[in-house]
Amino acid sequence: MSEHVTLLVRDVMKKEFDLVEGVATVREALAMMEHIETKCLIVNKRHEHDEYGIVVIADIAREVLVKDRSADRVSIYEVMTKPAVTVHPDMNIKYASALFARLGLSRAPVIDRDGKIVGIVSYTDMVIKGLLKIQ
């Protein structure tokens, strides 16, 4: 009988992510992206009682590229999703994947118990990294 392995979000998440301000233009935000592989930007809170937002590349394509809008004239807050759905680093990837499927997500910020972003996780991270670690 094989041993059951439980993988947590922390085991597969990316620890590098890009944090931007909502007032930045799309062009400014994209120019600041250092971690292209995450394919998203986390939008910083404006104050302690605010929530994080998220912009995925598909949002920018849909709201800027397809609509032929200027990346210099569109602010991140115009294309972001807020509040961002977040997951905890100790969540089983099986449940994180089910949450993604139910809500139509492709990625989500990973938030610790103190409300601090510690990473980002995507379907790709859960499927590719998760299945490779199980074997």
| pLDDT at residue number 71 | 96
| pLDDT at residue number 3 | 61
Checking if the pLDDT of 81 tops 60, the result is yes
**How many degrees, rounded to 5, is the angle at CA 5 between CA 121 and CA 13?**
15
| pLDDT at residue number 1 | 40
Neighbouring-strand partners of residue 127: none
Q: Tell me if 41 sits within 8 A of 20, measured CB to CB.
A: yes
pLDDT in tens, 10-35: 999 999 999 999 999 999 999 988 88
Q: Which two tokens stand for residue 7?
A: 């993988």
Say if domain 9-134 classifies as CATH 3.10.580.10. Answer: yes
- The per-residue pLDDT of the chain, averaged, comes to 92
Neighbouring-strand partners of residue 109: 120
Q: What is the mean pLDDT of residues 101-124?
A: 95
pLDDT in tens, 47-66: 989 999 999 999 999 999 99
Between residues 6 and 43, the one the model is more confident about: 43
* 3-state percent breakdown (helix, strand, coil) of the chain, nearest 5: 35, 20, 40
Q: Can you give the pTM of this predicted structure?
A: 0.88
Q: Where are the domains of the chain?
A: 9-134
pLDDT band for position 107 (cuts 50, 70, 90) = very high
